[in-house]
Amino acid sequence: MKHMENVLPDIPPRGIVWKLGWRSGLLQALFSPGRMQGVGFGWAVLPVILRWSRGEEDMKQRLFRHFTFFNANPYLGSIVMGSVARMEAEGQGDAVPGVKQRFSTITGALGDRLFWAHLRPMLLGLAVLLLATIPQDEIRVSIILFSLLFLFGMVNWSFRFAGVLYGWRYGYITPLRMARWPLQKFVNPMATVGALVSGLLLSSTFLVSDSNIPIPVHPSLGLLLIILVAFGKKLSPVLRFVVVWIIALLTMLYL
């Protein structure tokens, strides 16, 4: 294995960050149960393969390495790309499959908790709370929705582009570095805000401002039914919707 670690700078060549960063957004464009994000990943690192391949046979080997099974959290995929790009540039391609496998586990553990389970629900909950409780006019609604897009966009795109730099900087030791991320420090405050938002949102449903509705009969009755029926035991998504829709219909017809 050829090591050129000292030769490569800590910043990737011009254009690589941009190309890998935006291509990481299409990681799931051809998602399949067999290879998961494999094709998306292979396509995303094509600029790297084209840049550092030496001859057709070498290129074929590199392509085969990357168009295989791959699964990672889509928001952290760019870190894997940056790391793999450095390994390909250093001629450590043979170690790539093992490192990618390690990345699958670590990005799944970190990214799923950070993005899917905490950041996105928390921001959406906050947006719904504001939209459902403040008086609605075009300007307020636009500001709330724009802030939602802006805040999440900042995090999303920062991870996508800075992820390439991070992965490139640490190369094949990136999974080890990521394992030491203080995830709990970020996740705990988000979960606390999420819990507070869900409490506020639930309590806001008791305070119906419309004077035509017999307060608090309909909200409390509805809530009681929902709590008993929908959350007494785990319901399928279909059944959950059907139950609530029917309660809403009955409330409309008889209250």
Partner 1 sequence: MESFGWIWLVAALLVILAELDSTAAFQTMLGQPVVIGTLTGSLFGNWQAGLAAGIMLQLFWIDHLPLGGRIPPHLGIGGFTAALVASAVSSNLFPYTGWPLLYGILWGAATAFLGGYLTRILRNINDRLMPIVDLAVEECDTKKLSRFIWLGILNHSVLAIVAGWIPARIAVSLWPLITRIPVVFQKAESHLPIELFVAVGALSLARLHVTRSRTLIFAAPLFFVLLFLILQSINLEGS
Note whether 108 binds partner 1 by CB under 8 A.
yes
16 burial class (0-12, 13-18, 19+ CB within 10 angstroms)? buried
Task: Specify the stretch interacting with partner 1 by CB under 8 A; choose among 1-9, 13-21, 173-181, 236-244.
Answer: 236-244
- Kindly report the length of the chain: 255
One-letter-per-residue 3-state SS of 166-231: HHHHHHHHHHHHHHCCCHHHHHHHHHHHHHHHHHHHHHHCCCCCCCCCCCCHHHHHHHHHHHHHHH
Q: Which two tokens stand for residue 1?
A: 């294995």
Note whether 197 binds partner 1 by CB under 8 A.
yes
Note whether 169 binds partner 1 by CB under 8 A.
no
Task: Specify the stretch interacting with partner 1 by CB under 8 A; choose among 8-16, 123-131, 165-173, 177-185.
Answer: 123-131
Q: Which two tokens stand for residue 130?
A: 């504001």
Note whether 226 binds partner 1 by CB under 8 A.
yes
Q: How far is CA 191 from CA 104, 113, 166, 194, in A?
A: 24, 10, 26, 5
The single residue among 8, 35, 91, 183 that binds partner 1, judged by CB under 8 A, is: 35
Closest approach of partner 1 to the CB of residue 6, in Å:
31
The single residue among 51, 169, 186, 205 that binds partner 1, judged by CB under 8 A, is: 205
Closest approach of partner 1 to the CB of residue 244, in Å:
5
Note whether 253 binds partner 1 by CB under 8 A.
yes
Helices (H), 67-117: 77-90, 96-111
Note whether 70 binds partner 1 by CB under 8 A.
no
Note whether 136 binds partner 1 by CB under 8 A.
yes
Closest approach of partner 1 to the CB of residue 32, in Å:
4
- Output 74 or 175, the one with its CB closest to partner 1: 74
User: What whole-number distance in Å separates Cα of residue 108 and Cα of residue 115?
Assistant: 10
User: Which three-class secondary structure state does DSSP give residue 162?
Assistant: helix
Note whether 1 binds partner 1 by CB under 8 A.
no
- How many residues interact with partner 1 (rule CB under 8 A)? 92
